[in-house]
């Protein structure tokens, strides 16, 4: 029986051979529990990237941006933090549930549903951010180039673009990706155990994660597929698509992942 997640009608239910219990396998635009229930996302990923973005921007420009576009804005926390500083913020995300949740939580920020490979807002921004490995949803080179055209279309000549891709060393270097995710409290208390497969040929990682809940809910399995980009590879694509790369830096950003990578770019003159 399915417990308190009725919207899991989006998913498939099957019997798990390992546990003998019923397992729900999520499907939909992204197969991730945390995308279907954005309130849970912020319980797992507790650190806002906004202060890092402000520091990176200010260290180059000496002042705060007046306007920011966040692509793949998710539950909206980063933009809410930036809006508190008086910055005019717009967020775009692919998943309608993320947009709905973000708009309800942070009414002062404008959130718009759109695909980074194609949306055009007809506006330009001082700072454009793509955080939390959103860029890694661009599985093919052609997807990445379309996303770069979108970013370029929203740039003035002095716009600073801040991208936080996965730090690929977390997957194929000496570091390791997280194997345990926790929803620490509330009705949805759970632990997610993850395994990863790496395809060298496609440069894709596939994560399979099983969520076990503290009570009253069948296990849920979610999966994702993301492209890994090496830093120099991303730099190449940015430079090929009309940008100058200003810097590539590492920060200890979240407790779950090893050091985050940030690539800073500006339109090429």
Ligand X SMILES: C[S@@+](CC[C@H](N)C(=O)[O-])C[C@H]1O[C@@H](n2cnc3c(N)ncnc32)[C@H](O)[C@@H]1O
Of the ranges 6-14, 81-89, 93-101, 233-241, which one interacts with ligand X (CB under 6 A)? 93-101
CA-based max dimension of the chain: 61
Distance, CA of 220 to CA of 34 (rounded, Å): 11
Nearest residue relative to ligand X (C-beta): 132
In the shown chain, the binding pattern of residues 6 to 45 toward ligand X, with x for contact by CB under 6 A and - for none, equals ------------------------x----x---------x
Number of residues that bind ligand X (CB under 6 A): 19
d(CA 213, CA 141): 38
Considering only 11, 65, 132, 178, the residue that binds ligand X (CB under 6 A) is: 132
Which lies closer to ligand X via its Cβ, residue 72 or residue 165?
72
CB of 194 to ligand X, least distance (A): 14
83 near ligand X, rule: CB under 6 A: no
| Token pair belonging to 119 | 């949306």
Binding range to ligand X, per CB under 6 A, among 70-78, 203-211, 215-223, 245-253 = 70-78
H or E element: which one contains 103? Answer: helix 96-105
Establish if 93 lies at the interface with ligand X (CB under 6 A): yes
Q: Could you give the CA distance from residue 8 to residue 31 in angstroms, rounded to a whole number?
A: 11
In whole angstroms, give the CA distance from residue 71 to residue 91.
6
| 209 is an interface residue for ligand X by CB under 6 A | no
Q: Which stretch binds ligand X (CB under 6 A): 9-17, 115-123, 226-234, 252-260?
A: 115-123
Q: Is 167 in the site for ligand X (CB under 6 A)?
A: no
Closest distance of CB 22 from ligand X, Å: 27
Q: Does 116 bind ligand X (CB under 6 A)?
A: yes
The SS3 assignment for 184 reads: coil
Strands (E), 56-165: 67-71, 88-93, 110-113, 125-130, 155-163
User: Which residues touch 257 (CB under 8 Å, ≥6 apart)?
Assistant: 166, 167, 170, 177, 178
CA distance 31 to 35: 8
Q: Among 24, 25, 31, 49, which residue sits at the site for ligand X (rule: CB under 6 A)?
A: 49
Question: Which residue from 28, 60, 105, 115 is in contact with ligand X, where contact means CB under 6 A?
Answer: 115
**Among 46, 56, 43, 39, residue whose Cα is nearest residue 78:** 46
Name the residue with tokens 């991730």. Answer: 32
**Contacting residue, 23, 40, 67, 74, with ligand X by CB under 6 A:** 74
For 16, other C-beta atoms within 10 Å of its C-beta total 15
Smallest distance from the beta carbon of 102 to ligand X, in angstroms?
A: 9
CA separation for the pair 240, 248 (Å, rounded): 17
Both tokens of 31, joined, read 């197969």
Residue number, 81 or 219, with CB nearest to ligand X: 81
Can you give the binding site for ligand X, defined by CB under 6 A? 30, 35, 45, 49, 72-74, 93-95, 98, 115-117, 131-134, 137
């Amino acid at each position: 029986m399915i417990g308190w997640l009725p919207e899991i009608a989006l998913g498939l239910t099957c019997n798990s051979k390992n546990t003998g219990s019923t397992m729900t396998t999520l499907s939909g635009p992204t197969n991730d529990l945390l995308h279907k229930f954005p309130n849970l996302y912020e319980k797992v990923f507790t650190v806002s990237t906004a202060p890092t973005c402000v520091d990176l921007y200010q260290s180059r420009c000496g002042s705060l941006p007046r306007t920011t576009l966040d692509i793949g804005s998710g539950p909206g926390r980063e933009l809410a933090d930036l809006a508190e500083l008086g910055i005019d913020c717009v967020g775009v995300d692919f998943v309608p549930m993320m947009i709905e949740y973000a708009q309800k939580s942070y009414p002062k920020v404008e959130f718009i549903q759109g695909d980074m490979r194609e949306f055009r807002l007809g506006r330009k921004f001082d700072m454009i951010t793509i955080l939390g490995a959103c860029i890694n949803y661009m599985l093919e080179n052609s997807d990445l180039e379309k996303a770069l055209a979108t970013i370029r279309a929203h740039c003035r000549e002095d716009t600073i673009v801040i991208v936080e891709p996965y730090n690929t060393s977390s997957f194929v270097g000496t570091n390791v990706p997280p194997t345990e995710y926790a929803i620490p409290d509330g009705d949805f208390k759970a632990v997610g155990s993850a395994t990863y497969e790496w395809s060298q040929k496609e440069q894709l990682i596939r994560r399979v994660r099983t969520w076990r809940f503290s009570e009253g809910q069948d296990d849920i399995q979610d999966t994702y597929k993301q492209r890994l980009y090496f830093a120099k590879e991303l730099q190449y694509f940015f430079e090929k698509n009309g940008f100058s790369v200003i810097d590539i830096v590492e920060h200890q950003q979240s407790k779950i992942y090893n050091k985050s990578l940030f690539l800073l770019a500006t339109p090429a003159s």
